[in-house]
Amino acid sequence: MTQQLAQDLAPQLTQFQHNRSAATTDQATGAAGTPFQPTALEKQLFAETKSAIGKWQESPANREKLASLPGMTSEELRGFFHSLLAAPEFVQMNALVDKHRSSPAADISFPLKAVSAGIDGSLVLIIGVQGSIGVAVDPTDPTNYSEDVLYASGQIEIGVGEGGETGVVVGFWNVAPIDLGGTSYGWEVEIDDFGGGYVEASYTNFNQTGFIGVSVSLDAGEEDGAEGEASYTLVWSATPIYQPPAQNYMIIKSIYCNDNSESGHDEVYFFFTIDNGTRYRYPSQGEFSMAKGDTWNAGRSIRFNSQVYVQLFDQDDTSSDDPLGSCTYTASSVPSSTTVSGSGGEYTLSAVLNPVWNAYK
């Protein structure tokens, strides 16, 4: 297990273990209703997926990549799974995904809202998960990293040091990537003349959702042992929130409204672009209502090397959002107070660079 990845995921794994334990006490009733019956198009999709996985795993270079997974950071894992879905071996599968999305209801048994790619098996060398870890994307915009999630599903074996065979698993889901989390139950889907491979339908009892999707692999993984076995799936990083390590650390402690840009309140949010690269939003969803005299204790920490470009906006339901001003912080200049203005509004940002904490002295 890599130290960075272990550190990143340790809190998640603790929660994962807690929820996984709870899941095993539930009744595996998910498949008690109507079992999943794939349409002809879906059988074709699953068969092509199985074939693509097989071709991909035949390549020595790709097997070498699989072997290198334990050394990857979470962001590298994320990139790896995205590249896997875009690999030449999966071109036909992706074409069938597009066909599925545009097909009439009679030709499909579920709407395709997420496609996942991961590795399945005994993954204790990576993050201590026995099951699957991977990425799930929106099939309408599969290369948009801001819409994806990382997931871990199956059992948890924190502290166990033995690994085992791993293989690629691809999933097709009728829920959005962010909704893959929670407890589900897997049942093998019997498909005539499928030949090899393993197709598993997943069901959840939560909110009476029922069938949530299908995963395809070459072999039944560690999580597929018993029919109806409970599995817990954790998802995270639905939007670009994670920031890679950097040389500097700053916190935008608060934002004070000297004057709002419109009558009533401004609905304030801000973007921050790190080192001319990734642009992040805070809050990641929604806004904070502010009028003259209000303070928003944002507490937004930012890792950067050379500079951070911050842009304030007033969210507007009926037209494009109104800019409220911007500023650039650099490694040599992070004023404790910076006033910006735009669209008639004026705001003061309070920030600190590389804070030294009294509690650690």
Partner 1 sequence: MGNTAFTLTQISCAGTSESGHDEVMILWQADAGMAHLFPAGRAAVSMEDGDTWSSVNLQMSFVNDCLVSLYDQDSSLDPKLADYLVSYDYTPDSMPATVTLTNPNGAQYTLTISNVSITK
- Please give the residue ranges that form the binding site for partner 1 (CB under 8 A): 7-9, 11-12, 14-15, 19, 74, 147, 176, 178-182, 206-207, 232-238, 241-243, 249, 251, 253, 265, 283-291, 294, 297-303, 355, 357-361
CB of 6 to partner 1, least distance (A): 11
CB of 140 to partner 1, least distance (A): 12
Helices (H), 32-117: 40-58, 60-68, 74-85, 91-102
CB of 260 to partner 1, least distance (A): 11
Amino acid at 327: C
Choose between 166 and 260: whose C-beta lies nearer to partner 1.
Answer: 260
CB of 194 to partner 1, least distance (A): 30
Choose between 11 and 196: whose C-beta lies nearer to partner 1.
Answer: 11
Beta-bridged to residue 290, according to DSSP, are 266
Amino acid at 340: V
Choose between 45 and 302: whose C-beta lies nearer to partner 1.
Answer: 302
| Contact between residue 108 and residue 55 where contact means Cβ atoms under 8 Å apart | no
Choose between 163 and 283: whose C-beta lies nearer to partner 1.
Answer: 283
CB of 84 to partner 1, least distance (A): 21
CB of 275 to partner 1, least distance (A): 13
Dist CA 172 CA 189 (whole Å): 14
Q: 231 CB contacts (<8 Å, ≥6 apart)?
A: 23, 131, 153, 154, 155, 183, 184, 185, 186, 202, 223
Q: Kindly write down the DSSP assignment for every residue of 313-354, as one continuous string.
A: EE--SSSSPEEEEEEEEETTB--SEEEEEETTEEEEEEEEES
Amino acid at 108: I
CB of 100 to partner 1, least distance (A): 20
Choose between 18 and 63: whose C-beta lies nearer to partner 1.
Answer: 18
Amino acid at 146: S
Choose between 5 and 69: whose C-beta lies nearer to partner 1.
Answer: 5
Choose between 99 and 303: whose C-beta lies nearer to partner 1.
Answer: 303
149: Cα within 13 Å, side-chain hemisphere: 21
Alpha-carbon 153 to chain mean position: 13
CB of 318 to partner 1, least distance (A): 17
CB of 342 to partner 1, least distance (A): 21
Q: 251 CB contacts (<8 Å, ≥6 apart)?
A: 299, 300, 301, 302, 351, 352, 355
| Contact between residue 95 and residue 142 where contact means Cβ atoms under 8 Å apart | no
Choose between 120 and 266: whose C-beta lies nearer to partner 1.
Answer: 266
Six token digits for residue 284? 């990641």
Nearest C-alpha neighbor of 324 from the set 305, 308, 310: 310
Choose between 294 and 316: whose C-beta lies nearer to partner 1.
Answer: 294
Q: With DSSP H G I counted as helix, E B as strand and the rest as coil, what are the percentages for the chain, rounded to 5?
A: 30, 35, 35
Choose between 90 and 329: whose C-beta lies nearer to partner 1.
Answer: 329
